[in-house]
Amino acid sequence: MKKQIASASQKPIAFARDFFSYAIKGGNLYYGWLLFLSFFVVVGLYTSYVQMTKGLIVTGATDQIIWELFISNFIFTAHIAAAAVLVVIPAYIYKREDMKHLAVLGEIIALTFVIIGLNFIFFHMGRPDRFWHAIPGLGIFNFPSSMLTYDIIVLNTYLGINLVAVSYLLYKRYLGQPINTKFYTPLIYVAVAWGPLIHIVTAFILSSNAGISAWHTAVLPFAFLSMAGASGSALIIIFFLLIRKFSKMDIADSVIDFFSQVIVWSLGIIILVFASEFFTELYPGTHHAASLEYMIHGHHGLNAYVPWFWWTMALIVIPFILLLSSKVRKSYNFLLPLISLVVFLIILIEKPAVLVFPSFSPTPLGEYAVYHPTLIEIFNVLFIWASGFIILTLLTKGAIGVLTGEVQDSQTVEGDAK
């Protein structure tokens, strides 16, 4: 009896060992990819040291434009983390058989992108050493007044839910035991509700600032959720096509088709949201529209954001029109991944270049400014992205090993042999 308990407590350790020893094995391409990411981690270790010792002065942020690339990227990671529920919803709520086994991959995306996002917030803080001041109980938690406290709650809860859900499911699969649906299903439903919630709260962090008129709009959560639908589905398509190509995981065409449909719908909603926002701002033409006008045609020759604005608009509308054709949507090996990449990147670029930086002009005292990111800032952003993608790669690889049965508890294997 005692021996059994001892071996049971060893099981999670064996799981972690088997999981990661499978995850770090791969072909040359796999090692090349990890090596490529590690380069940015090594450089990033130095650049983060510079930022942590010198302060945010090494970034391009000023009292005029106070949000840097970090927080702009954070908003994007919240897009993806929220959109990951799009894998879970069809599997658990619409009971689609072709997606049931993929739900855990969606949760891994959510988990990774919340981690990436929390890293971005850490780099955004002026005093990261004082983060404990915001931990309820340990510090002071200005709840319910401060919007940031809601974000701390929802992000960490989402991280926790996904961490538990992913490791529970994979562990049970590893042992070859059925999952306890009384525990797992409610957890999944909470995660499904929580995904959009983290994103709505993130939108409120922006729209609660009456002083920044470009953000002070009720359409912001709708814009964020539709952008999540587009960029998240774009990432999932690329992700699933790669998994299908490089592993034994079975991912049906119908799954890919579902996500290309979601991109079309989401892009359509983005266009409507933008159109209604632009109309509401531009028709009365009050000072409330000043930052939008700054983006559209510059201000007294200061027009750095004008090309970014128009390219963003074009690259949202063009993929929408292209993806309306089922021929394009079915081009799994060329057009669909290419358009998905464009959608993913343009919504990533939209964050700093359209949503964040131009919105700070005019400042409350009427100044217009242009943001100039620094190299250190850019390398820190790449550092966070690269370490996030390393986590995503390793977790996905290990999870595929478990799901395809290549990573299994040795006793289960013995049992099967008998």
Partner 1 sequence: MSEDKRKKDIAEGQDDGKAKESRRDFLKKLGVATAATTVAPAATAKAGSIAEALQTHFRLMSDDEKKNAIARLEKRYTEQFSKQVTVADTPAPEGVLFGYALNISKCIGCRRCVEACVRENNQSRDPAIQWIRVLRMERGNNTFELKELNEGSPSSNPLGDYGIQSGGHADKHVGLSGSTEHYYEPEQVPEDDAIYFPVQCQQCEDPACVKACPVRATFRDPNGIVVIDYNWCIGCRMCQLACPYWARRFNWGEPVLPNEDMNPKTHYLGNRPRMRGVMEKCTFCLQRVRDGRYPACVEACPVGARKFGNLLDPKSEVRKILATKKVFRFKEEFNTDPKFFYYMD
The crossing angle, in degrees rounded to 10, of helices 85-92 and 103-124 is: 150
What's the length of the chain? 418
Eight-class DSSP state of 380: H
Shortest Cβ distance from residue 200 to partner 1 (Å)? 18
Nearest-Å Rg of the Cα atoms of the chain is 23
Q: Is residue 299 packed enough to be buried (19+ CB in 10 Å), middle (13-18) or exposed (0-12)? A: middle
Question: Is the CB of 148 or the CB of 269 nearer to partner 1?
Answer: 148
Give the Å distances, CA to CA, from 157 to 115, 152, 323. Answer: 12, 8, 35
Selected from 11, 16, 62, 306, the binder of partner 1 by CB under 8 A is: 62
Residues 281-300 that bind partner 1 (CB under 8 A): 285, 287
Q: Mask 149-188, x = binds partner 1 (CB under 8 A)?
A: x--x------------------------------------
Does 365 engage in binding with partner 1 (CB under 8 A)?
yes
Question: Is the CB of 146 or the CB of 157 nearer to partner 1?
Answer: 146
Does 301 engage in binding with partner 1 (CB under 8 A)?
no
Does 353 engage in binding with partner 1 (CB under 8 A)?
no
* Cβ neighbours of residue 212 closer than 8 Å, sequence gap 6 or more: 206, 359, 360
Name the token pair of 293: 């006008």
Q: How many residues line the site for partner 1 (CB under 8 A)? A: 43
Shortest Cβ distance from residue 151 to partner 1 (Å)? 9
Shortest Cβ distance from residue 284 to partner 1 (Å)? 11
Question: Is the CB of 215 or the CB of 259 nearer to partner 1?
Answer: 215
H-helix or E-strand containing 165? helix 147-175
Residues 237-266 that bind partner 1 (CB under 8 A): none
**Helix extents (H) in 176-305:** 181-207, 220-246, 253-282, 290-297
- In whole angstroms, give the CA distance from residue 184 to residue 89: 14
Question: Is the CB of 65 or the CB of 86 nearer to partner 1?
Answer: 65
Binding segment (CB under 8 A) for partner 1, from list 14-22, 303-311, 330-338, 363-371:
363-371
Residues that bind partner 1 (CB under 8 A): 54-59, 61-63, 66-67, 124-127, 129-131, 133-134, 139-142, 145-149, 152, 205, 208-212, 285, 287, 363-367
